[in-house]
């Protein structure tokens, strides 16, 4: 087959239009073979045979030339770049893909050095690569970055080998150039995806187990699972699910795996799971079968629902208790749901609505219209709807009207309030009491009392007048004395008010200064770093990651500072965990801040106190420790909280300097708010403050509060 120049996509000249010799083209045309006489003893060939051999030789040369043109086309349009380089890195030949990768026109690559086209950090790697190739090492490889003034970084790989040239000719090497940018980007994205998955796996708030479907054994477990069971990750790996107590036995485990093979997902709502200490947890298990990297993997998500089950059980008990209370209440009681339907009524309420049938499940507005006149029924319905809408508690001391169904005038005391019903929606509970007969008896009793009171009033008037004269004289004397005391107390009150205002202003000034000096600086630093990140468009991933990490550290410090302010103003552990943990946390930070050794002794009954009593004791201890740090020059302090007959006693004992209690109290009266604030807080809950200070023995601040009523213990 003949291949003509310009056909089949093979150019007659190089793509760039130059007349350079292509490495796969002939330099001279193929001459025709002329028959010549054959010297020697063999007879010459006949002319016809020479013609045939000449024609065959021409066809072979033409086919060889066509193959050379095809090779030239493959070289020019190959998807991989090809270069021919000399020992100095000069470009002798290149194809079109090389020009595209280097970002230079192909015609401008000839006799140009490769090194300026490479990024500065990769040029030494290119020099070493060329040394190895021209030293005779076969199939050398290096990975480099191309020079670029704008745009993303471009990575390429160089595969080189020494070219065979005639002896005495200059050495050259072949270099294949492959684009590695997409591969590197894909590897970076894969590593980022693996990092995100690992972080999710490690930080999940549910237990996660990975299993091998072939062996049914655990291959990985996240930290939440190890904390839930009390086992280490190494102890869990290699075990089957039934071996850690998740399923009953091996047969149950096999059955679960068979379901996974069929459905690819299995869910268990309620399974018992025992930890290392034997404590049972009720868990919810969701298992999924999927492929990861071409291999099947089973993932089990395990959620601890013990608390939820306990809450549901408590809810059921509360519902039963509510039903029991409704039935056994000594007064009339009924419940209206969010759809304004009567859903529950006790026997007294059913007796009051006996003329209405059916009763339960009926619209409450219809029930009211059946019992009371239209105007009264409308007023009552509006009152119920307002409480249902706003949650406003309503109590009526007395209500009297003539019933629509019986025609009898009746009187009631009643109240309504909004409560959450078992369906989670708000409802109404109404308590009422029929006081018709009681009101009638009260009217009669009031008439008798009026007559008796009139007689007694006349008798008492004379006695009263005499007593008034005596008391008037006494009251004038007492009034003068009280006036003097009132003037003194008024002055003390004004002085105390000014001290409180000064203390508030000082506290605000300190908080303002801390916010300006600490949080303001941190937020300014964050703003500057974010501005730098926005202006540095060409920053490297490593520098970007370092800048983000530094910014995150500033954000974390800001959050910690805000948390510290919140703890100083109101420790959340006091509300969440109780008095004893709050004292322990505060004393730990106090010791770290002041260097004074601390010790806490507390009874467990202290956490049964109400929120107000716990707050008072905590603030007394806090103020006492503050005074120790400021004035006592102590090396150790002990806080004791004990249950005594009649109440709780808190004592703060230090080994510092003593003082004369009465003199200090008189000297600081109305000036320092520490001792006065402790005394006021204790008197607010019916307690008292005791101070003992002995030379050489330190000072003891004692606070005693009575045991509160059990009905208010947790309010």
Per residue in 590-606, pLDDT (tens digit) is 898 889 999 999 998 88
**CATH code for residues 204-304:** 3.30.450.20
Q: How far apart are the two ends of the chain, measured CA to CA in Å?
A: 104
How far lies 396's CA from each of 325, 377, 386, 416, 430, in Å?
Answer: 22, 15, 15, 9, 11
**Residue of 289, 272, 268, 290 lying closest to 281 (CA atoms):** 272
Q: Which CATH class is domain 571-712?
A: alpha beta
Mapped onto helix, strand or coil, the DSSP state of residue 260 is helix
* Each residue's pLDDT tens digit, 63-105: 776 666 666 666 777 778 888 888 888 888 888 888 888 878 8
Round to whole Å and give the CA distance between 645 and 273. 44
Would you state the pLDDT for residue 22?
47
Half-sphere exposure of 274 (CA within 13 A, CB side): 10
DSSP 644-693: ETTEEEEEEEE-S----HHHHHHHHTTT-HHHHHHHHHHHHTT-EEEEEE
**Residue of 672, 667, 695, 658 lying closest to 623 (CA atoms):** 672
* Each residue's pLDDT tens digit, 438-482: 878 888 888 888 888 888 888 888 888 888 888 888 888 888 888
Helix (H) / strand (E) containing 491: helix 436-514
Would you state the pLDDT for residue 633?
85
Would you state the pLDDT for residue 382?
92
Round to whole Å and give the CA distance between 594 and 587. 10
pLDDT at 643 over 80: yes
Strand partners, 220: 210
* For the chain, domain boundaries: 204-304, 322-427, 435-569, 571-712
Q: What percent of the chain is modeled with pLDDT above 90?
A: 8
More confident site: 60 or 512: 60
Kindly indicate the confidence band of residue 648, based on its pLDDT and cuts at 50, 70 and 90.
very high
Would you state the pLDDT for residue 7?
34
Residues whose CB is less than 8 angstroms from the CB of residue 521 and which lie 6 or more positions away in sequence, other chains included: none
Mean pLDDT score across all residues of the chain: 78
Take residue 241 and report the two structure tokens written for it: 């699910």
Buried b (16+ CB within 10 A) or exposed e, 270-302: ebebeeeeeeebbbbbebebeeeeeeebbbbbb
Global confidence as pTM: 0.34
* Each residue's pLDDT tens digit, 298-317: 888 888 887 778 777 787 78
Round to whole Å and give the CA distance between 356 and 364. 11
Residues whose CB is less than 8 angstroms from the CB of residue 368 and which lie 6 or more positions away in sequence, other chains included: 377, 380, 381
pLDDT at 32 over 60: no
Would you state the pLDDT for residue 411?
86
- Going through 43-184 in order, the beta strands assigned E by DSSP cover 81-86, 91-94, 140-145, 155-162, 172-179
Kindly indicate the confidence band of residue 287, based on its pLDDT and cuts at 50, 70 and 90.
confident
Q: At what angle do helices 661-668 and 673-684 cross, to 10 degrees?
A: 100
Helix (H) / strand (E) containing 313: helix 306-328
- According to DSSP, residue 346 is labeled -
Strand partners, 155: 145
Least confident of 1-5, 41-45, 179-183, 248-252: 1-5
Q: What percent of the chain is modeled with pLDDT above 70?
A: 79
The answer, yes or no, to whether the previous bond of 358 is cis (omega within 30 of 0) is yes
Kindly indicate the confidence band of residue 111, based on its pLDDT and cuts at 50, 70 and 90.
confident
Average pLDDT over residues 546-561: 74
Buried b (16+ CB within 10 A) or exposed e, 491-503: eeeeebeebeeee
For residues 689 and 674, the answer to whether their CB atoms sit within 8 Å is no
Helix (H) / strand (E) containing 506: helix 436-514
- Count Cβ atoms below 10 Å from residue 442 Cβ, excluding itself: 12
Kindly indicate the confidence band of residue 711, based on its pLDDT and cuts at 50, 70 and 90.
very low
Would you state the pLDDT for residue 504?
59
Mapped onto helix, strand or coil, the DSSP state of residue 217 is strand
355 φ, ψ (degrees, to nearest 5): -80, -5
CATH topology (fold) of 322-427 = Beta-Lactamase (3.30.450)
Same fold for the domain at 204-304 and the one at 571-712? no
Average pLDDT over residues 19-31: 46
Average pLDDT over residues 235-253: 78
Average pLDDT over residues 616-623: 88
pLDDT at 670 over 60: no
Round to whole Å and give the CA distance between 510 and 524. 20
Round to whole Å and give the CA distance between 484 and 482. 5
């Amino acid at each position: 087959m003949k291949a003509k120049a310009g056909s089949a996509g093979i150019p007659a000249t190089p793509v760039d239009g130059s007349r350079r010799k292509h490495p796969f083209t002939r330099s001279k045309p193929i001459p025709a073979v002329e028959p010549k006489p054959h010297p020697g003893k063999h007879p010459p060939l006949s002319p016809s045979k020479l013609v045939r051999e000449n024609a065959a030789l021409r066809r072979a040369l033409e086919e060889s030339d066509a193959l050379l043109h095809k090779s030239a086309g493959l070289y020019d349009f190959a998807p991989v770049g090809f270069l021919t380089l000399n020992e100095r890195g000069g470009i002798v030949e290149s194809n079109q893909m090389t020009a595209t990768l280097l970002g230079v026109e192909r015609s401008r690559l000839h006799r140009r050095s490769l090194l300026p086209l490479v990024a500065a950090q990769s040029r030494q790697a290119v020099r070493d690569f060329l040394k190895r190739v021209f030293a005779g090492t076969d199939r050398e490889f290096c990975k480099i970055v191309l020079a670029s003034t704008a745009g993303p970084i471009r990575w390429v790989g160089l595969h080189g080998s020494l070219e065979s040239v005639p002896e005495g000719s200059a050495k050259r090497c072949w270099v294949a150039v492959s684009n590695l940018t997409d591969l590197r980007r894909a590897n970076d994205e894969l590593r980022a995806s693996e990092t995100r998955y690992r972080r999710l796996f490690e930080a999940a708030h549910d237990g996660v187990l990975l299993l091998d479907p072939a062996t049914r054994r655990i291959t990985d477990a996240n930290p939440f699972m190890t904390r839930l069971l009390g086992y280490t990750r190494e102890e869990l790996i290699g075990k089957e699910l039934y071996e850690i107590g998740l399923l009953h036995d091996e047969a149950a485990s096999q059955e679960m795996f068979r379901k996974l093979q069929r459905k690819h997902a299995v869910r268990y709502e309620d399974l018992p799971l025992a930890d290392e200490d034997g404590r049972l947890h009720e868990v919810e298990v969701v298992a999924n079968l999927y492929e990861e990297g071409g291999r099947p993997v089973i993932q089990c998500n395990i959620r601890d629902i013990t608390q939820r089950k306990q809450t549901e059980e408590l809810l059921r008990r509360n519902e039963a208790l509510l039903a029991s209370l409704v039935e056994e209440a000594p007064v009339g009681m009924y419940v209206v749901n969010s759809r304004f339907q009567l859903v529950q009524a006790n026997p007294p309420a059913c007796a009051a609505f006996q003329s209405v049938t059916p009763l339960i499940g009926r619209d409450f507005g219809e029930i009211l219209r059946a019992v009371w006149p239209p105007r009264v029924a409308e007023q009552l319905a509006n009152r119920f709807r307002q409480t249902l809408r706003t949650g406003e508690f309503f109590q009526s001391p007395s209500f009297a009207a003539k019933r629509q169904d019986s025609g009898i005038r009746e009187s009631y005391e009643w109240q309504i309030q909004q409560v959450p019903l078992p369906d989670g929606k708000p409802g109404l509970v109404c308590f009422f009491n029929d006081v018709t007969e009681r009101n009638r008896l009260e009217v009669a009793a009031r008439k008798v009392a009026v007559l008796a009171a009139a007689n007694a009033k006349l008798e008492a008037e004379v006695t009263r007048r005499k007593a008034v004269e005596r008391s008037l004289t006494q009251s004038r004397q007492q009034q003068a004395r009280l006036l003097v005391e009132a003037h003194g107390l008024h002055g003390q009150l004004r002085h105390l008010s000014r001290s409180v205002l000064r203390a508030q202003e000082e506290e605000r000034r300190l908080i303002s200064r801390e916010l300006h000096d600490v949080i303001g600086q941190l937020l300014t630093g964050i703003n500057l770093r974010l501005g730098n990140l926005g202006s540095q468009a060409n920053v490297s991933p490593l520098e970007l990651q370092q800048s983000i990490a530094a910014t995150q550290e500033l954000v974390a410090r800001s959050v910690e500072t805000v948390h510290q302010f919140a703890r100083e103003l109101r420790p959340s552990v006091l509300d969440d965990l109780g008095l004893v943990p709050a004292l322990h946390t505060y004393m730990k930070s106090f010791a770290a801040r002041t260097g004074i050794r601390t010790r806490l002794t507390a009874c467990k009954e202290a956490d049964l106190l109400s929120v107000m009593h716990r707050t008072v004791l905590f603030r007394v201890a806090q103020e006492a420790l503050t005074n120790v740090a400021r004035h006592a020059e102590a090396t150790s302090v002990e806080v004791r909280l004990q249950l005594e007959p009649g109440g709780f006693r808190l004592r703060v004992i230090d080994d510092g300097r003593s003082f004369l209690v009465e003199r200090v109290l008189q000297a600081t009266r109305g000036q320092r708010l520490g001792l006065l604030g402790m005394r006021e807080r204790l008197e607010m809950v019916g307690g008292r403050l005791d101070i003992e200070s002995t030379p050489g023995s330190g000072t003891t601040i004692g606070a005693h509060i009575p045991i509160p009523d059990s009905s208010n213990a947790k309010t």
